[in-house]
Structure 1
């Protein structure tokens, strides 16, 4: 029996399925963006890439925390 993933990474399968990009591609976009604050990045993902708030928030939180290298 596998333990369910908790935290922001728990959204990743749904993000990949809904938006058609692998998580690492989103992480690269976030890391290379000139924006620096969490909420700026969330707003940018929502406005420019059409992500929902929860998905954008999860991606930014995970990326800024440096999780997963």
Structure 2
């Protein structure tokens, strides 16, 4: 097992509702928040795959919704 698989990962999200992985032992970069899911790298990737079904940034989704209404 490599250090990447030992459960030291978390899912993070930015203001555009885009997701990424971040090591739990590192400070979060500006503009990102802890989404609440922690685990192995693969567990976090699997979680992102389930919840991030629309890859468009939030601002684009809002703009497109405004145009269509």
TM-score, normalised to structure 2, is 0.30
- Structure with a larger share of its residues in strand: 2
Q: Which has the larger radius of gyration?
A: 2
TM-score, normalised to structure 1, is 0.30
- Structure with a larger share of its residues in helix: 1
